[in-house]
Structure 1
Amino acid sequence: MSEFELGWGDEEEPDQTADTLTAADHSRQEKQVAQIAAAVNSAVEAVRPGLDKIPDPVEPAGDGELTAEELERLELCEQGLALHKTAWFMAGKSLDTVATGRLFRRTQHKLEPERCYTTIEEWAEVEKGISVSKCNQWRAAWEIGEVLMAREYDAVPGQVRELVPVKNTYGLNAAVAVYVLVADTVGANKVTAARLRETVKLMPGDLKLEDDEDPDVLAKTIKGVLLGELPPSGVPAIPPAVTRAVDARAIALANNLDRGRIPRSEVQLHLLQAFADPEDTTVFDAVLDRMKKTSNPK
């Protein structure tokens, strides 16, 4: 080694130090991972549903105010009941998904092993112990419950069941609209199955609703019909004077076109097409102007 070359002792020492630091880092990382895993497991356990989390029935501590322990027991029981509501809708959606995709089709029949299940009702009853009526009931109701929960309504299964006939007749949005109507009328926290049932009974048999309408719009339409402000069609009745004027103009239109009688439906079709024309807004502007004058009369 040249006199100008400096040595720093054993050249292996830096590598050994690095190895020591690396081991320490690994140890810290492992502890952090273990702590995170423990925290995750604790959080999962805290939200895990289970019968063991519901307090066992015991006699009351007294006749007066609930003790702190009793209040805690009540809170846990209320959480269990809330879980039941969600589980009810989840069961309905699960059954509907299995039914729609016929996911039971390759499951061997428990009582007749030589064949597979052929219907969702058979699969649910034999495999899961769910009666045919319950299976159909849950499947019919879960969509309503899902939408109401998404809209932050505290709807319970008993209330949702009252809306199933509306869904079957008019569609999902109409069923939600009935709940919205009752909630807006009496307050969301005062909606009951009985109130929903009575509202459904009041809906006329010849009521016509468009299910692609927003539930809030449908709620206003249903309210108008129930109050007698709108006919069952949901569309404001055309005054006789306006009908006569339209018929007279239709005759004038036929004369200008050198045609015979022009049906009112044909006139309406052309009016709607002109109203929706994005390139020529003449009719749209005229309607807008008339509606402004009607809404803000001077």
Structure 2
Amino acid sequence: MKKTDFGNLKSVRAGVLDVGYYDIGPADGRAVVLLHGFPYDVQSYIEVGPSLAKQGYRVLIPYLRGHGATSFVDASTPRSGEQAALGKDLIDFLDALGIKKAIFAGYDWGGRAGCVAAALWPERCSGLVSVNGYLIQDIANADKPAPARVERGFWYQFYFQTDRGRAGLRANRSDIAKIMWRENSPTWKFDDDTFERSAKSFENPDYVDVVIHSYRHRLGGAPGYREYEALQSRLASQPIITVPTVTLDGDADGVVLATDGKAQASRFSAKRVHHVIAGAGHNLPQEAPSAFVDAIEEVAAMT
């Protein structure tokens, strides 16, 4: 996998976090925020980011809470991983940088952050690119099983409900991540150097607490935190996303089965286009960077 330098790492106080991020491309370019998933990091955009910057976009690539160079300002702040926290982090990040509006683009946790922020703060989102479509969790119905083939891919979510799973993640975070990379993207032939560049981000001291809370909360195994109650209440209604959107599926995704996108059509009220990307797995921007760049250009042209 090609290695590209993002330049100097920056940091900004944004809400409850000190966010570590990269800022590449012209300062007056159209803003795009690229949001990574779990268990991945900013390296997912190692080719996408520079490509967009060369086309004149201002590209912002933050580490999500619990990952890499991002840390909590106050030791007493709950290490929440709930979806409302991820969406609010994105808006706080824009506020801290004085950015009124941006394209949100992501997958997995990052796609969820983008969907949440686009749904609750549409005035801040000029367009959305989301891998696997509408990612706002329907926590009230989290006890309803998915097809067995899909449930099998969620093994880590069930493992993390247990004390053994927490201890396992703390002791074996890198090994767990590598297994997930292989199973999530069975056709992606990443090398050890590619994995190790991202694995450094899992050494963040808040990683285990944030990850465990995220998966316990979404499956009803842990309560949310008071700070996010109002936002979670709004998300419980499964709000419609009202901004122009491009959704993507990889046809080799080992977690979420690729679809024609029609079942989610009612979740989007503005123009929305769906593409299935041949040969791509769950970490789509790193596996198929050209397709991800094309999706951002497509949604940019809609506004």
Q: If the length of structure 2 is used for normalisation, what is the TM-score? A: 0.18
Larger helix share, 1 or 2 = 1
Larger strand share, 1 or 2 = 2
| Bigger RCO (CA 8 Å, 6+ sep) | 2
Q: If the length of structure 1 is used for normalisation, what is the TM-score? A: 0.18
